[in-house]
Amino acid sequence: MFVCFKGWLQRITLAFLIELAVVSAFAQESKLLSEIDINSGLPSNTVRCLKLDNEHRLWVGTDNGLGIFEANTDIQKKIINTIGSKSIWSIEIKDCFVLIGTRYDGLYIFNKNTGQLSFYYRSCLNLFRQ
């Protein structure tokens, strides 16, 4: 009976090690980002929102503007320049539109394919700040 128990213990241990190896292999990320801060191009270290788009670009809304990591086209750079140093509190990407909500300046809706500002809704809070 002791030999039978030893055989089962070996089988359970082997199954556990195989499962551990398989789970570890699937848990590896294909692309890891290094630590991101103002030295690597982030407008501010105060991050308010994050969004990952279909092309695996990381959109980061900060207190001093918008950062798009791996923004390798003029379209993304145009959106960043249009937003400027406004405090970004929300980012949403729907179909061909990028919606960017700011703290005091309102909602910006950009065409993701052209980088053109499609709509701008001014915040009513901006009227009271003056």
- pLDDT digits 0-9 by tens, 30-76: 555 567 778 877 888 889 999 998 888 889 999 999 998 877 788 88
- Top pLDDT among 77 and 25 is at 77
CATH code of the domain occupying 38-128: 2.40.10
C-alpha dihedral over 103, 109, 115, 118, to 10 degrees? -130
Say if strands 65-69 and 58-62 run parallel, antiparallel, or are unpaired: antiparallel
For residue 24, give the DSSP letter. Answer: H
Answer whether residue 82 shows pLDDT above 70. yes
Residues 6+ apart with CB under 8 A from 115: 74, 75, 76, 77, 78, 79, 82
pLDDT score at 45:
86
Answer whether residue 26 shows pLDDT above 90. no
pLDDT score at 24:
55
